[in-house]
Homo-oligomer: A and B are copies of this chain.
Amino acid sequence: MDKEYLSRKSTDPAVQEMIKKAGSEKIETVWDRYEQQSPQCGFGDLGLCCRHCLQGPCRIDPFGGEPQRGICGATADTMVARGIDRAIAAGTAAHSGHAKHLAHTMKKMARGEAGDYSIKDSEKLRSVAARLGIELEGKDDRALALEVAEAALADFHEKDTPVLWAATTVTEGRVKVLSDLGAVPRGIDHEISEIMHRTLYGVDADPVNLLLSGLRCGVADLAGCYMGTDLSDILFGTPMPVVSEANLGVLEPEAVNLVLHGHNPVLSNVIVGVAREMEEEARQAGASGIKLSGICCTGNEVLMRHGIPSCTHSVSQEMALVTGAVDAMVVDYQCIMPSMAGVAECMGTKLITTMELARIPGAEHLPFSEETAVENAREAVRMAIEGFKQRQGRPVDIPEHKSKVVAGFSTEAIVGALAKVNADDPLKPLVDNIAEGNIRGVCLLAGCNNVKVPQDSGFTTIARRMLQENVLVITTGCGAGALARHGFMDPANVPQLCGDGLKAVLSAVGEANDLGGPLPPVLHMGSCVDNSRAVAVAVAVADKLGVDTDKLPVVASAAEAVSEKAVSIGTYAVAAGLPTHVGVMLPVLGSPQVTEVLTSKINDLTGGYFMVELDPEAAADKLVAAINQRRGGLGLKL
C-alpha cells in the first residue's frame, strides 16, 4: 500500500497505519467494501430508483430515454422528492428518538425511579423551563424536571401548541417565516408519520409540496436535536471548556481500554463515573488503570463533559479495533457499522450492544435500563477488564498520533468566555468583531466522514480556508472529530491557522479568560444533536442585531455527510436561513426541479439553500462568497 493509495482513504496518519495493518492481516474494512460496491448504482445515486410499492422497483433513465416515469406515473421529480423526504423523516426519527429517550430518563429521574441520575445543571433546567413558558415560581428542581420531561414528550404528538422545541428556539421572525410556509411542525412523530404517509404509493406526487413537508419535518428535527441537547445538559451538565486529546494514540497498551461509541450519553455518562470507582479492580487485574475513550458522538458527549479523549470517528471506527488494544467497546445507537462485530471477533475485542433498538449479530448484548444504569455500567466495565485479561500476550499496535484538544464550547461556555470580555453585554464583543470585520462570519462544520471522501480532507480543507479568511469555525459531530484529530482544537496552532483578525479575537478572549493563550482555532460545540447549539448562537446574535438568522454571515457545511441525520440537519439549517454546503452527492440530481428548489428557489422562501460541491476548495470559495454576500446585505465591509 503506497502513500497515495492510503491518502485516498484517509488523511489521518493514525488511520493510515491501521489501514495498512488491516490489509496485511486481511481484515476487511469499510474501504474494501466500498471498492467491492463500486461502481455504485447510478440510478440510486441520482435518486432515480423507487421501491415504495410492490409494482416496482422502478427507475428513470437519467439521459432522457425510456422510462421517464415509474409504473404509477411518478416522474423523476416525484421520485426524488419522495426519496429525500423519507431520508429527512429517518434522520428526524433518530435525533428525536435519542431526545425522547432522554425525556424518559428525566421523567424517571424526577419520579425517583432512576436514582442513578440527577439534575446536574439546575440553571439550565430553569432556563429551558422558562423558555417553554413553564411557571418556575415555588417549584423545586425535581418538579420542574418532571414538567420539562412531560413537555418534551408532548412535543412528539399534535397538540394545541406547535412543537415547543421548534417554536421557542428560533427567532420570532423565523417563526413567522416558517408559519407562512406551513413549516412549523405540529408534533415530531406526527411529522415523521405524515412524511411516510405522503410518500406512499399514490399519495403526494407534487415535488414542491413534498419538499415543503420535508422542510417542516426538518424543523421537527431541529426540535429533536435541541431537545436532546437541553435534556443532556440538564442531566449530565452543560459543557465547559475542557482539555483532552484525540486520535488512536490515546489508547494505552497497559490499561483496560474501554471505548464508548454511538450517540446517547445516557449510559456512557454513567460509565465515566463508574469507571473512576473501578480503577482498583482494573489494577488488580494487572492493568495500569481504566482508559476510556470515545468514538462518534458518544465520544463527543463524554469529551465535552468529562474530557474523555476521542479515539477516532465515523468511517475509521473499525480502525480502533484493528489496534488490538481495545478490550471492550460499548455501543448505544446510530452510526455503528454492523461490520464492527466481525472486526471485534478478529481482534478479540468484546463488542457490547446495550440498546433494545440496536443489536448487532455477533455482539454481546447487555440490556441497559435507566433503573439499573450503574449496575449496567459496572457490568460493562467488568467485561472490559475481562477483555484486558484475555488480551494479555497478544500484540497491540497503537499509532503514536494524537492531538491536544480544547473542547467543551457549549453556547453557555461561549457566552461565558465572552462575558469575561464584556460582562454587561457578552455578545457585544462578538457582534462588534463581526461588524468590524475581524471576524468575517461564522461557519459550522458538521456531519460525518464518508468513505467516498479521503477521510477528513473535506473538513480540514474547508476549515483551513475559513480560518485564513477570519471566519470563526464552530463544529460538531464527526466533523468536530476530524478537526480534533488534525490539531484544529489545539490553541498552539492558532498562529499558523488563523488570519490576523480572528487570531486577535481568539487571543483577546483567551486572555480575558486567563487561559494563558488563545481559544483553540476551531470551537467544538458537541455531538450532532448539538448542532442545536450552533442554532442557539446564531439566534442569539440575530436577536442582538435585530435581524433574522437568514441575514447573518453564517454558513453551514457537511463536507463528508453520510447519515440520513445529516440530510435532516441540513434541512433545518436551510429552514433557519443558512447557505448550507454538502460535500457529497445527495440523491437528488436526477431531478432538475428538486435540485433547483433545494439549491436556489428555497432561498426565496427561507433565505437558506443547499450548495452541493464535491471539491472542498471550491466549496470553501462558495462558503466565503455566501458570507460576503450576507455581509453586504447587512451593509458591513467586505
Contact = CB atoms under 8 A, between A and B. Distances in A.
Interface of A: 30, 33-34, 36-37, 40-41, 43-45, 49, 51-59, 66-67, 69-75, 77-78, 83, 86, 89-94, 96-97, 153, 156-158, 187-190, 192-207, 209, 213, 333-342, 356-361, 450-452, 561-567, 584-587
Contacts of A358: 198, 202-205
A55 B451 contact: yes
A357 B212 CA distance: 10
Given A198-B357, A206-B360, A360-B205, A58 B70 contact: no
Contact of A49 (B49, B54, B189): B49
A562 B193 CA distance: 20
A75 B338 contact: yes
- Oligomeric state, in number of copies? 2
A192 B356 CA distance: 16
Given A51-B83, A357-B203, A193 B337 contact: no
Contact of A334 (B54, B92, B202): B202
A563 B200 contact: yes
A181 B596 CA distance: 47
Contacts of A44: 49, 51, 56-57
Contacts of A70: 33, 37
A66 B41 CA distance: 15
B562 A338 contact: no
Interface centre among A202, A205, A337 (most CB of B within 10 A): A202
Contacts of A342: 73
B563 A201 contact: yes
B202 A157 contact: no
A120 to B, nearest CB: 25
Contacts of A335: 201-202
A41 B33 contact: no
A584 B54 contact: yes
Given A55-B450, A205-B336, 13 more contacts: A34-B55, A37-B67, A40-B56, A41-B49, A45-B57, A49-B57, A53-B563, A73-B337, A73-B340, A74-B338, A189-B193, A203-B334, A205-B358
28 contacts: A36-B67, A37-B59, A37-B67, A40-B56, A49-B49, A49-B57, A51-B83, A53-B563, A54-B562, A72-B337, A73-B340, A73-B341, A78-B338, A86-B86, A90-B196, A90-B200, A93-B194, A153-B157, A153-B158, A156-B158, A156-B189, A192-B193, A192-B196, A203-B333, A204-B359, A205-B336, A206-B360, A206-B361
A507 to B, nearest CB: 38
